[in-house]
Amino acid sequence: MKMRLVTYSVFAAVVLVALSLMVPTKPAAQPLPAGQNGAAAPAEPTPRLPDGHPDLNGFWSNPQANSEDGGSPGQLGYRSDDGSVLFDFGGPNSNQGIPREAANQPHYKPEYALKVNDIADHMYGGSTNLDPMVQCKPLGIPRGSFGTMQVAQTPKVIALLFEEPADDRIIYTDGRTHPKDLDTSYMGDSIGHWDGDTLVVDVAGLNDDTWYAGGTGGGTKHSTIHSDKEHVTERWTRKGNTITYEATVEDPVMLAEPWVITPRHVQLSKPGDYLLQFNCITNDVGHIIQPSDNDKFKCVYTGSRPECQ
C-alpha cells in the first residue's frame, strides 16, 4: 500500500492561506510572545544544587528554533516575515523539506560515502526500512541522546529518561573510568565531569547498529552509518531554563575527520507536564515504499516552505 503524505501538507497550506488573510502584514504591529519566532525570552537565573553545579533536574521539552533545523519555529504557531501565520499540526512529521544540518554533515571516507549515498537514494519520503529506528532499535548517540526527557540528577549519577524507554541513559559522575572489558551497546557507556557550568560526557562502547540520524525530509541524508569505533564527547550547558547540547563525534574507521554537530536546545517544561511512554512497533518495516523512476516522493504544498523531493 502506497502512503502519500498529502493530507497534512494540504491542510497546512489551507490554514496558512486562511490565516494570512486575517493577520496584519506588519509583523512588528503584533509581535509573538517572548520565545517564539526567534524572540528572546527574559533571562532566568540558573538553579544550582548544593554542590554549586547547575541543576539539570526536571522534565525538558519544547525544543527551540535553531540553525539545526533551518530556523524552523519549533512552536505550534509561526509567523513569517510577511506577517502570515502557519499553525503547524504535523507533530513529528512537520518541517518536511526544511534543510536540517544541510551545511553540517559528517565527512565520510570515500568508500563509506558511497554506501551512505546509496542508502539515501533508497529512501522514500525520508524513510527506509534500513533505518534501525524503524526496526524499533535504540537510537544511539548522538541521535537519541537529547530531546524530550526527564532528568534525575545526583552528585554521583545522572539518569536520562526518554519517551522511548530503550534510549534511557545513565551518566556516571563519580570519577570512574570506562570499564576495560567494555562490551559495545546501543547507548554505550557514559562518564561525566564538570567543566565550570558545563557537564562534559565521554561516551564509548557504542555498537555499529545505530545511525547518526535518518531521513531525507530533513536534509540529513548524509548522516547515517558509523562503525563500532565511534566515540562521542558531549557538552551539556544549562543557562536559565534552557539546556544547550553540543557533541563531537569521532569515528576513525568511517569518518575522515571528527564531526561537530549543530548545537541543540531544549527548554524546561511547564509545571504539570510529564513524560509519556512511546511504544514502538515494527508494523512499518516492509511497508515503506522504495523509490523508482516512476514513483518518487515529492511534497505537494508551497507557501513559506520550500518544495521537497
What residue spans define the domains of the chain? Answer: 110-268
Residue 70 CA to residue 57 CA, distance in Å, equals 29
Confidence at residue 146, expressed as pLDDT on a 0 to 100 scale: 92
Give the pLDDT confidence score for residue 93 in this predicted structure: 39
**Residue 289 amino acid letter:** I
Task: In whole angstroms, give the CA distance from residue 159 to residue 165.
Answer: 12
Residue 96 in this model has a pLDDT that exceeds 90: no
Up-side HSE of residue 14: CA atoms within 13 Å toward CB?
7
Assign 91 to helix, strand or coil. Answer: helix
Is 80 exceeded by the pLDDT of residue 174?
yes
pTM of the entire structure?
0.71
Cell 530531546 locates to 147
Q: Tell me the CB-side half-sphere exposure of residue 195, using CA atoms within 13 A.
A: 11
Predicted confidence (pLDDT) per residue in 100-155, tens digit: 445 688 999 999 999 998 888 777 777 788 889 888 899 999 999 998 999 999 99
pLDDT single digits (tens) 213-233: 876 544 445 689 999 999 999
pLDDT exceeds 60 at position 89: no
- Please, what sign has the CA dihedral across residues 269, 241, 37, 62? negative
Which cell goes with 154? 545526583
Model pLDDT, residue 298: 61
Residue 13: phi and psi, rounded to 5, are: -65, -40
| Longest pairwise C-alpha distance within the chain | 64
Distance, in Å, from the CA atom of 267 to the CA atom of 190, rounded to the nearest integer, reads 23
Work out the pLDDT band at 69, boundaries 50, 70, 90: very low
Beta strand 231-239 with 242-250 is antiparallel
CB-based contact 304:16 (threshold 8 Å):
yes
Kindly give the pairing relationship between strand 77-79 and strand 189-195. Answer: unpaired
Q: Is 253 helix (H, G, I), strand (E, B) or coil?
A: coil
Q: With beta carbons less than 8 A apart as the criterion, state whether 151 and 132 touch.
A: no
In degrees, rounded to 5, the angle at the alpha carbon of residue 49 between the alpha carbons of residues 46 and 53 is 70
Pairing of strands 189-195, 169-172: parallel
Radius of gyration (Cα) for the chain, nearest Å?
20
DSSP label of 134:
G
Distance separating alpha carbons of residues 171 and 152, to the nearest angstrom:
10
Q: How far apart are CA 75 and CA 175, in angstroms?
A: 39
